[in-house]
Amino acid sequence: MKKSLTIAIFALLAAAVLLMGIMEKTLSSIGGTPAVAAAYVLIGIILIVLYIKARKDSAEEKSKNENKKNTDVR
């Protein structure tokens, strides 16, 4: 199980690197350096939004678990 998960993560990272290279090559031929920079800024903003959402969801889950533990005391 652990080995297949490791292989899946490695394959996903390899595909992501390949797609990033294709994106850079395409954008540099279409719009030059500003287009590549804009794409990376957009990707960065999306990652920041996802990080904040995950942090918020994690905090809510943690507070739910703490509330559940407090109410389950016998």
| pLDDT tens by residue, 5-45 | 889 989 999 999 898 889 888 888 888 888 888 888 998 99
pLDDT band of 61, cuts 50, 70, 90: confident
- Burial-class residue 61 by CB neighbours within 10 Å (0-12, 13-18, 19+): exposed
pLDDT band of 46, cuts 50, 70, 90: very high
pTM score of the predicted model? 0.61
Instruction: Give the DSSP H/E element, type plus range, for residue 60.
Output: helix 33-71
Selected residue with higher pLDDT from 63 and 74: 63
Average pLDDT (46-58) is: 92
Whole-number Cα distances in Å, 64 to 39, 58, 67, 69: 38, 10, 5, 9
- The 3-state DSSP class for residue 32 equals coil
Q: Is the pLDDT of residue 73 over 60?
A: no
